[in-house]
Structure 1
Amino acid sequence: MSKALERREKLRIDLILAAERMVASRGLAGLKTRDLAREIGCANGAVYNLVTDLDELILRVGSRTLHRLDEALSAAQSAGDLSPQETLVRIAIAYCDFAAENLELWRALFEHRMEADKTLPEWSIEDQMQLFRHIYQPLAALFPKRSREELGITARSLFSAVHGMVALGLEQKLVAVPLPALRKEITVLVRAMIDGLIARAV
Protein backbone atom coordinates (compact mmCIF):
# COMPACT_ATOMS: atom_id res chain seq x y z
CA MET A 1 0.00 0.00 0.00
CA SER A 2 1.35 3.43 -0.94
CA LYS A 3 1.94 6.16 1.65
CA ALA A 4 -0.97 8.16 0.23
CA LEU A 5 -3.36 5.19 0.57
CA GLU A 6 -2.09 4.52 4.10
CA ARG A 7 -2.76 8.13 5.08
CA ARG A 8 -6.23 7.98 3.53
CA GLU A 9 -7.07 4.74 5.36
CA LYS A 10 -5.83 6.16 8.67
CA LEU A 11 -7.94 9.28 8.15
CA ARG A 12 -10.94 7.11 7.27
CA ILE A 13 -10.54 5.13 10.50
CA ASP A 14 -10.14 8.39 12.44
CA LEU A 15 -13.37 9.62 10.86
CA ILE A 16 -15.33 6.51 11.86
CA LEU A 17 -13.98 6.62 15.42
CA ALA A 18 -14.78 10.34 15.70
CA ALA A 19 -18.31 9.68 14.42
CA GLU A 20 -18.69 6.89 16.98
CA ARG A 21 -17.68 9.22 19.81
CA MET A 22 -20.02 11.92 18.53
CA VAL A 23 -23.02 9.58 18.33
CA ALA A 24 -22.22 8.18 21.79
CA SER A 25 -22.20 11.67 23.32
CA ARG A 26 -24.82 13.51 21.22
CA GLY A 27 -27.02 10.85 19.70
CA LEU A 28 -27.53 10.24 15.99
CA ALA A 29 -29.15 13.66 15.47
CA GLY A 30 -25.96 15.31 16.76
CA LEU A 31 -23.73 13.80 14.05
CA LYS A 32 -22.39 16.74 12.03
CA THR A 33 -19.85 16.36 9.22
CA ARG A 34 -18.46 19.87 9.81
CA ASP A 35 -17.61 18.98 13.41
CA LEU A 36 -16.15 15.65 12.30
CA ALA A 37 -13.94 17.30 9.69
CA ARG A 38 -12.66 19.77 12.28
CA GLU A 39 -11.91 16.97 14.75
CA ILE A 40 -9.89 14.83 12.32
CA GLY A 41 -8.22 17.82 10.68
CA CYS A 42 -9.56 17.79 7.13
CA ALA A 43 -11.75 19.98 4.94
CA ASN A 44 -15.50 19.51 5.27
CA GLY A 45 -15.83 18.24 1.69
CA ALA A 46 -12.98 15.77 2.20
CA VAL A 47 -15.20 13.67 4.49
CA TYR A 48 -16.93 12.33 1.37
CA ASN A 49 -13.62 11.27 -0.10
CA LEU A 50 -13.35 8.88 2.86
CA VAL A 51 -16.90 7.49 2.84
CA THR A 52 -19.53 7.49 0.11
CA ASP A 53 -22.08 9.46 2.11
CA LEU A 54 -23.46 9.97 5.62
CA ASP A 55 -25.39 6.71 5.38
CA GLU A 56 -22.18 4.73 4.93
CA LEU A 57 -20.55 6.53 7.85
CA ILE A 58 -23.50 5.76 10.13
CA LEU A 59 -23.51 2.12 8.98
CA ARG A 60 -19.76 1.85 9.67
CA VAL A 61 -20.33 3.14 13.20
CA GLY A 62 -23.25 0.71 13.52
CA SER A 63 -21.01 -2.14 12.37
CA ARG A 64 -18.59 -1.42 15.21
CA THR A 65 -21.51 -1.35 17.66
CA LEU A 66 -22.85 -4.67 16.34
CA HIS A 67 -19.42 -6.30 16.65
CA ARG A 68 -19.15 -5.23 20.28
CA LEU A 69 -22.69 -6.45 20.92
CA ASP A 70 -21.72 -9.76 19.31
CA GLU A 71 -18.79 -10.05 21.74
CA ALA A 72 -21.07 -9.31 24.71
CA LEU A 73 -23.60 -11.94 23.63
CA SER A 74 -20.83 -14.48 22.95
CA ALA A 75 -19.49 -13.94 26.48
CA ALA A 76 -22.96 -14.45 27.94
CA GLN A 77 -23.51 -17.57 25.86
CA SER A 78 -20.23 -19.17 26.95
CA ALA A 79 -20.55 -18.30 30.65
CA GLY A 80 -20.87 -21.59 32.52
CA ASP A 81 -22.61 -24.86 31.73
CA LEU A 82 -26.11 -23.55 31.12
CA SER A 83 -29.26 -25.17 29.79
CA PRO A 84 -30.58 -23.76 26.49
CA GLN A 85 -33.36 -21.99 28.42
CA GLU A 86 -30.91 -20.27 30.78
CA THR A 87 -28.61 -19.45 27.87
CA LEU A 88 -31.47 -17.55 26.22
CA VAL A 89 -32.12 -15.70 29.49
CA ARG A 90 -28.43 -14.78 29.78
CA ILE A 91 -28.35 -13.54 26.20
CA ALA A 92 -31.45 -11.39 26.76
CA ILE A 93 -29.98 -9.84 29.92
CA ALA A 94 -26.67 -9.23 28.14
CA TYR A 95 -28.57 -7.46 25.35
CA CYS A 96 -30.35 -5.27 27.90
CA ASP A 97 -27.11 -4.42 29.70
CA PHE A 98 -25.31 -3.59 26.45
CA ALA A 99 -28.14 -1.27 25.42
CA ALA A 100 -28.08 0.48 28.81
CA GLU A 101 -24.29 0.91 28.73
CA ASN A 102 -24.18 2.09 25.08
CA LEU A 103 -27.51 3.82 24.91
CA GLU A 104 -27.02 6.33 22.08
CA LEU A 105 -24.99 3.96 19.90
CA TRP A 106 -27.60 1.24 20.45
CA ARG A 107 -30.44 3.63 19.63
CA ALA A 108 -28.65 4.72 16.46
CA LEU A 109 -28.87 1.14 15.14
CA PHE A 110 -32.66 1.48 15.00
CA GLU A 111 -33.09 5.23 14.43
CA HIS A 112 -31.10 5.36 11.21
CA ARG A 113 -33.24 5.18 8.06
CA MET A 114 -31.87 4.77 4.56
CA GLU A 115 -33.55 6.67 1.73
CA ALA A 116 -36.29 4.67 -0.02
CA ASP A 117 -34.24 4.10 -3.18
CA LYS A 118 -31.13 2.90 -1.33
CA THR A 119 -30.45 -0.64 -0.14
CA LEU A 120 -28.33 -1.85 2.73
CA PRO A 121 -24.90 -3.11 1.64
CA GLU A 122 -24.30 -6.83 2.04
CA TRP A 123 -21.65 -6.35 4.74
CA SER A 124 -24.14 -4.43 6.88
CA ILE A 125 -26.85 -7.09 6.45
CA GLU A 126 -24.32 -9.79 7.37
CA ASP A 127 -23.34 -7.90 10.54
CA GLN A 128 -26.99 -7.83 11.62
CA MET A 129 -27.88 -11.41 10.72
CA GLN A 130 -24.81 -12.82 12.49
CA LEU A 131 -26.30 -11.81 15.84
CA PHE A 132 -29.29 -14.12 15.45
CA ARG A 133 -27.07 -17.19 15.79
CA HIS A 134 -26.92 -16.49 19.55
CA ILE A 135 -30.68 -17.07 19.77
CA TYR A 136 -30.89 -19.67 17.02
CA GLN A 137 -28.39 -22.13 18.54
CA PRO A 138 -30.12 -22.67 21.92
CA LEU A 139 -33.50 -22.77 20.17
CA ALA A 140 -32.19 -25.48 17.84
CA ALA A 141 -31.10 -27.49 20.89
CA LEU A 142 -34.55 -27.10 22.46
CA PHE A 143 -36.53 -27.87 19.30
CA PRO A 144 -34.45 -30.23 17.13
CA LYS A 145 -37.46 -31.21 14.99
CA ARG A 146 -38.18 -27.69 13.84
CA SER A 147 -37.03 -26.57 10.42
CA ARG A 148 -34.39 -23.90 9.96
CA GLU A 149 -37.07 -21.51 8.73
CA GLU A 150 -39.30 -22.15 11.77
CA LEU A 151 -36.38 -21.64 14.14
CA GLY A 152 -35.50 -18.40 12.35
CA ILE A 153 -39.02 -17.07 12.80
CA THR A 154 -39.02 -18.04 16.50
CA ALA A 155 -35.60 -16.40 16.98
CA ARG A 156 -36.82 -13.14 15.44
CA SER A 157 -40.01 -13.24 17.52
CA LEU A 158 -38.06 -13.76 20.73
CA PHE A 159 -35.68 -10.95 19.82
CA SER A 160 -38.59 -8.62 19.02
CA ALA A 161 -40.20 -9.27 22.41
CA VAL A 162 -36.98 -8.64 24.33
CA HIS A 163 -36.02 -5.64 22.21
CA GLY A 164 -39.45 -4.08 22.78
CA MET A 165 -39.10 -4.41 26.54
CA VAL A 166 -35.58 -2.97 26.47
CA ALA A 167 -36.58 -0.07 24.22
CA LEU A 168 -39.53 0.89 26.41
CA GLY A 169 -37.75 0.17 29.67
CA LEU A 170 -34.79 2.40 28.81
CA GLU A 171 -36.92 5.19 27.42
CA GLN A 172 -36.06 8.26 29.49
CA LYS A 173 -39.67 9.29 29.94
CA LEU A 174 -42.67 8.14 31.97
CA VAL A 175 -42.30 4.47 31.01
CA ALA A 176 -38.66 4.23 32.16
CA VAL A 177 -37.99 1.16 34.32
CA PRO A 178 -35.07 0.86 36.76
CA LEU A 179 -32.46 -1.46 35.26
CA PRO A 180 -32.62 -4.17 38.00
CA ALA A 181 -36.40 -4.35 37.61
CA LEU A 182 -36.07 -4.44 33.83
CA ARG A 183 -33.66 -7.38 34.06
CA LYS A 184 -36.14 -9.28 36.24
CA GLU A 185 -39.03 -8.61 33.88
CA ILE A 186 -36.99 -9.72 30.86
CA THR A 187 -36.05 -12.93 32.69
CA VAL A 188 -39.73 -13.64 33.40
CA LEU A 189 -40.70 -12.90 29.80
CA VAL A 190 -38.05 -15.14 28.21
CA ARG A 191 -38.73 -18.06 30.55
CA ALA A 192 -42.49 -17.75 29.99
CA MET A 193 -42.06 -17.68 26.21
CA ILE A 194 -39.75 -20.71 26.22
CA ASP A 195 -42.01 -22.64 28.63
CA GLY A 196 -44.96 -21.88 26.34
CA LEU A 197 -43.07 -23.03 23.24
CA ILE A 198 -42.03 -26.26 24.97
CA ALA A 199 -45.60 -26.93 26.15
CA ARG A 200 -46.95 -26.35 22.66
CA ALA A 201 -44.34 -28.64 21.15
CA VAL A 202 -45.30 -31.44 23.57
Structure 2
Amino acid sequence: MRNDERRERLREALLDAAERTIAGSGLSALKARDLAKDVGCALGAIYTAFPDLDALILAVNLRTLALFDRVIATVPLPTAPDGPATPAQKDAAVATLVRLAVAYLHFAAENPARWRALFQHRVTDALPDWYLVEQVRLFRYIEAPLRVLRPDLGEHDRALLARSLFSATHGLVSLGLDEKLMVLSEPVLRGQIEIVVGALGRGLAE
Protein backbone atom coordinates (compact mmCIF):
# COMPACT_ATOMS: atom_id res chain seq x y z
CA MET A 1 0.00 0.00 0.00
CA ARG A 2 1.31 3.43 -0.91
CA ASN A 3 2.10 6.05 1.74
CA ASP A 4 -0.73 8.34 0.67
CA GLU A 5 -3.22 5.46 0.89
CA ARG A 6 -1.99 4.53 4.36
CA ARG A 7 -2.20 8.15 5.44
CA GLU A 8 -5.76 8.43 4.13
CA ARG A 9 -6.81 5.26 5.95
CA LEU A 10 -5.23 6.54 9.14
CA ARG A 11 -6.97 9.88 8.67
CA GLU A 12 -10.38 8.22 8.34
CA ALA A 13 -9.70 5.93 11.32
CA LEU A 14 -8.72 8.91 13.47
CA LEU A 15 -11.78 10.86 12.32
CA ASP A 16 -14.06 7.93 13.18
CA ALA A 17 -12.46 7.46 16.59
CA ALA A 18 -12.54 11.19 17.40
CA GLU A 19 -16.17 11.39 16.28
CA ARG A 20 -17.13 8.48 18.56
CA THR A 21 -15.34 10.07 21.50
CA ILE A 22 -16.90 13.50 21.03
CA ALA A 23 -20.38 12.08 20.43
CA GLY A 24 -20.15 9.79 23.44
CA SER A 25 -18.20 11.76 26.02
CA GLY A 26 -17.82 15.31 24.76
CA LEU A 27 -14.98 17.40 23.42
CA SER A 28 -13.07 17.47 26.70
CA ALA A 29 -12.63 13.69 26.53
CA LEU A 30 -10.67 13.86 23.29
CA LYS A 31 -6.99 13.08 23.99
CA ALA A 32 -4.30 12.39 21.42
CA ARG A 33 -2.85 9.47 23.37
CA ASP A 34 -6.24 7.78 23.67
CA LEU A 35 -6.89 8.29 19.95
CA ALA A 36 -3.59 6.65 19.07
CA LYS A 37 -4.48 3.69 21.25
CA ASP A 38 -7.96 3.42 19.73
CA VAL A 39 -6.71 3.21 16.16
CA GLY A 40 -3.53 1.27 16.96
CA CYS A 41 -0.97 3.82 15.81
CA ALA A 42 1.96 5.65 17.36
CA LEU A 43 1.19 9.00 18.97
CA GLY A 44 3.32 10.85 16.44
CA ALA A 45 1.51 9.19 13.54
CA ILE A 46 -1.54 11.31 14.28
CA TYR A 47 0.36 14.34 13.06
CA THR A 48 1.14 12.75 9.72
CA ALA A 49 -2.62 12.71 9.03
CA PHE A 50 -3.53 16.02 10.71
CA PRO A 51 -1.28 18.99 11.44
CA ASP A 52 -2.69 19.24 14.96
CA LEU A 53 -5.71 18.32 17.08
CA ASP A 54 -7.43 21.56 16.04
CA ALA A 55 -7.54 20.33 12.46
CA LEU A 56 -8.89 16.94 13.57
CA ILE A 57 -11.63 18.54 15.69
CA LEU A 58 -12.63 20.85 12.84
CA ALA A 59 -12.88 17.83 10.55
CA VAL A 60 -15.18 16.11 13.06
CA ASN A 61 -17.23 19.29 13.40
CA LEU A 62 -17.54 19.39 9.62
CA ARG A 63 -19.14 15.96 9.78
CA THR A 64 -21.54 17.31 12.41
CA LEU A 65 -22.45 20.24 10.18
CA ALA A 66 -23.07 17.82 7.32
CA LEU A 67 -25.33 15.75 9.56
CA PHE A 68 -27.24 18.88 10.54
CA ASP A 69 -27.48 19.84 6.88
CA ARG A 70 -29.23 16.55 6.14
CA VAL A 71 -31.71 17.28 8.92
CA ILE A 72 -32.69 20.82 7.91
CA ALA A 73 -32.67 19.93 4.22
CA THR A 74 -35.95 18.13 4.92
CA VAL A 75 -37.62 21.49 5.64
CA PRO A 76 -39.23 22.80 2.39
CA LEU A 77 -37.99 26.29 1.55
CA PRO A 78 -40.17 28.96 -0.05
CA THR A 79 -39.37 30.57 -3.37
CA ALA A 80 -39.40 34.34 -3.42
CA PRO A 81 -42.23 35.61 -5.65
CA ASP A 82 -41.57 37.88 -8.61
CA GLY A 83 -43.75 40.60 -7.12
CA PRO A 84 -44.84 41.52 -3.57
CA ALA A 85 -45.50 38.53 -1.36
CA THR A 86 -49.10 37.76 -0.49
CA PRO A 87 -50.17 37.40 3.16
CA ALA A 88 -50.33 33.64 2.65
CA GLN A 89 -46.79 33.57 1.26
CA LYS A 90 -45.55 35.62 4.20
CA ASP A 91 -47.29 33.29 6.66
CA ALA A 92 -45.63 30.33 4.94
CA ALA A 93 -42.23 32.01 5.19
CA VAL A 94 -42.72 32.66 8.91
CA ALA A 95 -43.75 29.03 9.38
CA THR A 96 -40.56 27.98 7.60
CA LEU A 97 -38.43 30.03 10.00
CA VAL A 98 -40.17 28.31 12.90
CA ARG A 99 -39.67 24.85 11.39
CA LEU A 100 -35.97 25.55 10.83
CA ALA A 101 -35.60 26.68 14.45
CA VAL A 102 -37.41 23.60 15.74
CA ALA A 103 -35.23 21.37 13.56
CA TYR A 104 -32.19 23.01 15.15
CA LEU A 105 -33.59 22.29 18.62
CA HIS A 106 -34.23 18.63 17.75
CA PHE A 107 -30.72 18.22 16.38
CA ALA A 108 -29.15 19.77 19.50
CA ALA A 109 -31.31 17.66 21.82
CA GLU A 110 -30.56 14.43 19.97
CA ASN A 111 -26.83 15.10 19.48
CA PRO A 112 -25.91 17.18 22.56
CA ALA A 113 -22.18 16.42 22.74
CA ARG A 114 -21.60 16.84 19.01
CA TRP A 115 -23.65 20.03 18.99
CA ARG A 116 -21.75 21.53 21.94
CA ALA A 117 -18.42 20.70 20.32
CA LEU A 118 -19.32 23.04 17.45
CA PHE A 119 -19.22 25.97 19.86
CA GLN A 120 -16.83 24.81 22.58
CA HIS A 121 -13.83 24.42 20.31
CA ARG A 122 -11.74 27.55 19.85
CA VAL A 123 -8.86 27.69 17.39
CA THR A 124 -5.90 30.00 17.85
CA ASP A 125 -5.70 30.89 14.16
CA ALA A 126 -8.48 31.96 11.82
CA LEU A 127 -10.91 29.26 10.75
CA PRO A 128 -9.96 27.71 7.40
CA ASP A 129 -11.89 28.79 4.33
CA TRP A 130 -13.38 25.33 3.73
CA TYR A 131 -14.97 25.41 7.19
CA LEU A 132 -16.31 28.94 6.80
CA VAL A 133 -17.85 28.03 3.44
CA GLU A 134 -19.85 25.25 5.08
CA GLN A 135 -21.05 27.55 7.86
CA VAL A 136 -22.16 30.21 5.37
CA ARG A 137 -23.92 27.61 3.24
CA LEU A 138 -26.08 26.55 6.20
CA PHE A 139 -27.22 30.13 6.75
CA ARG A 140 -28.71 30.02 3.25
CA TYR A 141 -31.60 28.00 4.65
CA ILE A 142 -32.59 30.95 6.83
CA GLU A 143 -32.05 33.44 4.04
CA ALA A 144 -34.63 31.72 1.79
CA PRO A 145 -37.72 32.72 3.84
CA LEU A 146 -36.14 36.12 4.50
CA ARG A 147 -36.21 36.78 0.75
CA VAL A 148 -40.00 36.49 0.98
CA LEU A 149 -40.36 38.54 4.17
CA ARG A 150 -37.81 41.25 3.39
CA PRO A 151 -37.29 41.51 -0.39
CA ASP A 152 -35.96 45.04 0.17
CA LEU A 153 -32.75 43.78 1.77
CA GLY A 154 -29.55 43.29 -0.18
CA GLU A 155 -27.54 40.08 0.05
CA HIS A 156 -25.22 41.42 2.75
CA ASP A 157 -27.99 42.72 5.00
CA ARG A 158 -30.04 39.57 4.51
CA ALA A 159 -27.05 37.43 5.52
CA LEU A 160 -26.59 39.54 8.66
CA LEU A 161 -30.25 39.18 9.53
CA ALA A 162 -30.04 35.41 9.03
CA ARG A 163 -27.14 35.29 11.49
CA SER A 164 -29.10 37.36 13.99
CA LEU A 165 -32.09 35.03 13.78
CA PHE A 166 -29.81 32.06 14.22
CA SER A 167 -28.20 33.71 17.26
CA ALA A 168 -31.62 34.23 18.83
CA THR A 169 -32.57 30.60 18.26
CA HIS A 170 -29.19 29.33 19.43
CA GLY A 171 -29.49 31.38 22.62
CA LEU A 172 -32.87 29.86 23.43
CA VAL A 173 -31.61 26.35 22.73
CA SER A 174 -28.35 26.82 24.65
CA LEU A 175 -30.02 28.16 27.77
CA GLY A 176 -32.86 25.66 27.57
CA LEU A 177 -30.54 22.67 27.32
CA ASP A 178 -27.82 23.95 29.67
CA GLU A 179 -27.34 21.29 32.35
CA LYS A 180 -25.93 23.87 34.78
CA LEU A 181 -29.13 25.90 34.64
CA MET A 182 -32.75 24.81 34.74
CA VAL A 183 -33.07 22.36 31.86
CA LEU A 184 -36.34 22.73 30.00
CA SER A 185 -38.10 19.75 28.52
CA GLU A 186 -37.96 19.62 24.76
CA PRO A 187 -41.73 20.22 24.31
CA VAL A 188 -41.60 23.30 26.57
CA LEU A 189 -38.51 24.62 24.80
CA ARG A 190 -40.12 23.98 21.44
CA GLY A 191 -43.14 26.02 22.51
CA GLN A 192 -40.93 28.93 23.54
CA ILE A 193 -39.03 28.80 20.27
CA GLU A 194 -42.25 28.76 18.28
CA ILE A 195 -43.48 31.85 20.16
CA VAL A 196 -40.24 33.83 19.86
CA VAL A 197 -39.24 32.92 16.31
CA GLY A 198 -42.83 33.24 15.15
CA ALA A 199 -43.06 36.74 16.65
CA LEU A 200 -39.77 37.77 15.03
CA GLY A 201 -40.91 36.43 11.68
CA ARG A 202 -44.27 38.19 11.85
CA GLY A 203 -42.50 41.40 12.77
CA LEU A 204 -40.36 41.11 9.67
CA ALA A 205 -43.44 40.48 7.55
CA GLU A 206 -45.05 43.80 8.48
Per the TM alignment, residue 57 of structure 1 is displaced from its structure 2 partner at its CA by 0.4
Q: Does 1:123 align with 2:122?
A: no
Choose from 92, 95, 115 the match for 1:83: 92
Q: Which has the higher mean CA deviation after the structures are superposed, 68-77 or 11-20? A: 68-77
Shift of 1:149: 1.7
The alpha carbon displacement at 1:61 in A equals: 0.4
Residues in 2 aligned to 1:189 and 1:146: alpha-carbon distance in whole angstroms: 22
Corresponding residue number in structure 2 for 1:165: 172
Q: Aligned Cα RMSD in Å?
A: 1.7
Q: Is the CA contact 1:139–1:151 (under 8 Å) kept in the aligned structure 2?
A: yes
Residues 77, 141 of structure 2: 8 Å contact kept:
no
Aligned to 2:155: 148
Report the Cα offset of residue 97 of structure 1: 0.4
SS across alignment from 1:144:
coil
Distance in 2 between residues matched to 1:59 and 1:86, nearest whole Å: 32
Cα deviation, residue 4, structure 1: 2.8
User: Percent identity among equivalent residues?
Assistant: 47
Equivalent pair of 1:132/1:155 in contact (CA under 8 Å): yes
Gaps of 5+ in 2: 79-88
Q: CA deviation at 1:145?
A: 1.8
Structure 1 residue 158, shift from structure 2 partner: 0.6
Query: Which runs of 4 or more aligned residues in structure 1 lie more than 3 Å from their structure 2 counterparts after TM superposition?
Result: none
Task: Give the structure-1-normalised TM-score.
Answer: 0.92
CA distance in 2: counterparts of 1:189 and 1:57, whole angstroms: 36
Tell me the secondary structure at the aligned position of residue 76 of structure 1. coil
Counterparts of 1:8-27 in structure 2 under 5 Å?
8-27=7-26
TM-score computed with the length of structure 2 as normaliser: 0.90
Match of 1:30 in 2: 29
Distance 2:181 2:155 in 1: 40
Q: 1:78 to 1:192 in 2, by over 3 A?
A: closer
Structure 1: runs of 5+ lacking an equivalent = none
2:102 corresponds to? 93
| 2:151 alignment partner AA | P
